[in-house]
Structure formats: structure tokens, C-alpha cells
Chain A
């Protein structure tokens, strides 16, 4: 699999490690009433779709950036690659 890094261009997926579903960016509010339940779901439950999947990849052998890779889990096609920091700050701006 080739991951088209937004800054470095196409890189072999071997240079990366995968953490998991990009929903891991959405850490629940630890002070909320329902924090117990929310953290259980956040930590342990996954949609695990057959098809389009947004996931967090870390460029360990490269520039150490975190990427959000949108990938098809049935065909292994890489559909979209974004810098996780850009996605996260975009959210903060809203």
C-alpha cells in the first residue's frame, strides 16, 4: 500500500504504524455525567466496517507526523490522506 503523504508525497506503508480508527481523536469529556460509558465505548468498541474506514497512521520511519488515512478495507485502496493536526485544528476553529 502506498500512502500519499500530504507533505512528503507517496510513501510505502511500511514506514508507518497504524493506531486504529480515527474516532480515537474524539476523546470523550472526562467530566461529563456519562464519562464512564463514553470512555468504555471510546476505548473498546469499534465500528470495524467492511468498506471505507478513517484511521490514524503514524509516520514513524519518516517525519513523525500523524495522518488520517481514509482507506477501503475490502480493496485496500487508499482514498484520502490528511494531516491529523490539520483536521484537529480545523475542528477547533469551528
Chain B
């Protein structure tokens, strides 16, 4: 798809020479129509990606995304932007590797600079047992076509000399590295998918809250919204932390709890951290944004929350993790912190499935790891909506796996969402 509205270096030059009069809004602001073939509830990364792939891969022309606030105001604009495909279990790894491959071609595909940066993800290990577990994980990754490399302490020191190798209690013995992992500008992912979908005819309708579903004879025929009823042949919900609230309107109880996860950014610094580094003896992860700010986070707050803000004990815990791993960050000032509401599932893995109601589909349970999943989640949800069959990489993400005892529990921590 080529048009004079494509973004490129040449376009910037041309616009610069002609007074920048040719730029148009990146997407329209349409009023909702009375009916669509597909209505996607939630204009986060997953909802927008779903609409984009419905239009671009499955040739669907009548699609709307309904967002209660503004697109990118939810978790897609609140996360710490890490992408990776370093899962252990068969149900997960092919899906996340599919996602990473989609990230690799995404910017050309949707003609938007999302600043996909494959700067590497280092998971540090601190004991022999943890090294063995990481080796096993790395092997699982390689078996599913991803890349993985196990570094020993000297190799890690060569790549990340700034780490505190004097840690007596939790020595830094090495790291599992995925070099193709990295970070992506999160807002640009929402904007890129929104623009790409809009250009293919998708209506992106902001300030439009879905308040209920019209269900007749076990079939969903549309949604009630703050801007009136909108009929739809199929409705797909991708509302992340609001999953339980929205699906309750359709009479469904979910295997999900909502929890708050916080993130933090320091003042801008010169480049000091090459990739994403995670501490294996606590919960702390850090990377440096292209603006120079250190972006970091740790555990969820551990209690159910819809507040989009957390409490101080986790702030302290995260900062202690950072100081243990790389004391140099203690000199930097923390300038911003915020929270987002996580749809924590009962086994820590997501759901992309039909519901017991015909015409109503559900995408959720992403926990704190759904950003990296955005492209594959959108693709697989579009596949399910368009063809009524699951995509081959998402066959395990069924709603009934809990009833069948077929959990995908990476950590093996059981049905307690705040432990995943």
C-alpha cells in the first residue's frame, strides 16, 4: 500500500521544501456507524493491532475500535517497553517467538517508526541451580527457533562492567541473553497500529465506553456504548485490566484478578546501560530509553487494584533491587512513576478464545507481559475473529484450560495471580 501520505525520509525533505503543508492527522476521528462486521472493544495495543490485522491480513473492511478514553492511555502507554521471546513452555514460546518475528518487520509493515531496538535482554543468574534452569530455558527457546546464549561471569562482566560483582549473598554468575530481545517505543506502537488500521478503513472511535452487550438467544448482536448502540456481527474484547468489569456485563466470570504494576523513570543520562538487564535474585529490571532516562520496575503491588497508582513499599523494594544490582543508579534522580492495571490470570498466561456467547470473543489475561505480545496477540485474535479457528501459535490459550487442568504456568506457582 503506497500513498502520498507515507512517512519516509524523502517525505520529510519534500514537506520541508514545501512549507510542511502536506501533513494530515495520522488517523480520522469518525462518528460511530450504526453497524459493523467487527467491533473491537478497547483501543490499547492489542485492540488496535487486532483491527489492523483484520484489515491488512484478513481483508475485512467493516471494523471499528471503541476506546473509552484515548488510544494509548492504558497499559500500552504505561509499560516498560521490553520485548523478548524467552519462555519455557510449549504453550507460550511459539507464540512469543511469532510476536518477536512480527516486531522485526513491523515498522516497514505499518510504515511508522516504532523505534524497535534489538539491544538484547540479559537475565542474570546467581546460583548453580538458577544457571541450570536458565540453560534449560535457553534450550527450549532454541528448540522453538528463537535465539539464546548463556554467558558466564567473565563474559557478563565484559558486556556489563557496571554491575556490582561484589555481591556476596547473591553472586553474579552469568546471564541468559536473548540478543534479539530489546525495547520498543510503546506509544508509537499504539499510534502506528492506529494509523495503519485507519488507512485501511478501520474506524477508531475514542471517548466511547462500552457499557453492555446486547445478547439475544445466546448470541451477541452488538454493544451498548456511551455513544449509543452499535450493532456488530462479531465483538472482540481486548480491555486488559478492565477485563472482569467489561465481561461481567455479558454475565461472565473470568479466571482473572486486576493488580497494579508500577514503573519508574530517572532523569536523562548519557548512554550507560546497553540492553535490558534483569536481576535474578529479586525482582528488578532496567533499560535506558533513547531519551536517556533509566526505565525500571519490579514486582506488582500484590493486592487487587483498579487505581492505576501503587504504594511506597514497592517503590522501596524496586529501588533496593536497583541499588543491589548496579549501585551507580543511586546517583540518578527518579523523576516519574506511575501504575497500570494488570489483568493477572490464574496461571500467568493469556487467553485468546471464543466465549460461551456466540459472536463474543475474548482476549486478556496478559499479566505484566502483554506489551511484547502485542503484534502476535493482534494477529491471532484477528485470525480467530475472521476464521473462527485459533491461530496455530495460540491454540493453548483457551478459556477452558483451567477447567481441564491444562494450565500454562511458567513459574509453577498455582492459582494465585499475585505470585505470577
Q: Which residues of chain A have a CB within 8 Å of any CB of chain B?
A: 1, 12-14, 17-21, 40-41, 43-50, 53, 55, 71, 73-76
Verify A50–B402 contact, CB threshold 8 A: no
Verify A18–B253 contact, CB threshold 8 A: no
Bound form: Cα–Cα A32–B257 in Å: 27
Verify A18–B255 contact, CB threshold 8 A: no
Residues of chain A with a CB closer than 8 A to B313's CB: 12-14
Residues of chain B with a CB closer than 8 A to A18's CB: 302-304, 418
Q: Is the interface of B mostly helix, strand, loop or mixed?
A: mixed
Verify B256–A55 contact, CB threshold 8 A: no
Residues of chain B with a CB closer than 8 A to A44's CB: 255, 346, 402-403, 415
Residues of chain B with a CB closer than 8 A to A74's CB: 306-307
Verify A20–B307 contact, CB threshold 8 A: no
Residues of chain A with a CB closer than 8 A to B417's CB: 20
With CB as the reference atom, state the residue of chain A lying closest to B403. A40
Bound form: Cα–Cα A15–B253 in Å: 31
Verify A50–B415 contact, CB threshold 8 A: no
Say which residue of B255, B303, B307, B311 sits within 8 Å of A46 (CB atoms).
B255
Verify A55–B311 contact, CB threshold 8 A: no
Verify A73–B306 contact, CB threshold 8 A: yes
Closest Cβ of chain A to B212, distance in Å, is 16
Verify A53–B304 contact, CB threshold 8 A: yes
Question: Which bracket fits the contact residues of B?
Answer: 20 to 34
Closest Cβ of chain B to A82, distance in Å, is 17
Bound form: Cα–Cα A49–B247 in Å: 12
Most buried by B among A41, A45, A53: A45
In this assembly, does B254 line the interface, its C-beta being within 8 Å of a C-beta of chain A?
yes
Say which residue of B244, B245, B303, B415 sits within 8 Å of A71 (CB atoms).
B303
Bound form: Cα–Cα A50–B253 in Å: 14
Bound form: Cα–Cα A41–B304 in Å: 19
A-B contacts at CB below 8 angstroms, number: 70
Bound form: Cα–Cα A18–B416 in Å: 10
Verify A48–B415 contact, CB threshold 8 A: no
12 contacts between A and B (CB under 8 A): A14-B313, A18-B302, A18-B303, A21-B304, A44-B255, A44-B402, A45-B253, A45-B254, A46-B244, A46-B256, A46-B257, A48-B257
Verify A75–B307 contact, CB threshold 8 A: yes
Bound form: Cα–Cα A73–B304 in Å: 6
Query: Other than the known A18-B303, A48-B258, A50-B306, what 9 A-B pairs have Cβ atoms closer than 8 Å?
Result: A20-B418, A40-B403, A44-B346, A45-B254, A50-B245, A55-B304, A74-B307, A75-B307, A76-B305
Residues of chain A with a CB closer than 8 A to B248's CB: 47
Bound form: Cα–Cα A75–B254 in Å: 23
Most buried by B among A20, A41, A71, A75: A20
Verify A13–B311 contact, CB threshold 8 A: yes
Closest Cβ of chain B to A68, distance in Å, is 14
Verify B256–A73 contact, CB threshold 8 A: no
Closest Cβ of chain A to B193, distance in Å, is 27
Residues of chain B with a CB closer than 8 A to A1's CB: 303, 311
Bound form: Cα–Cα A40–B402 in Å: 7
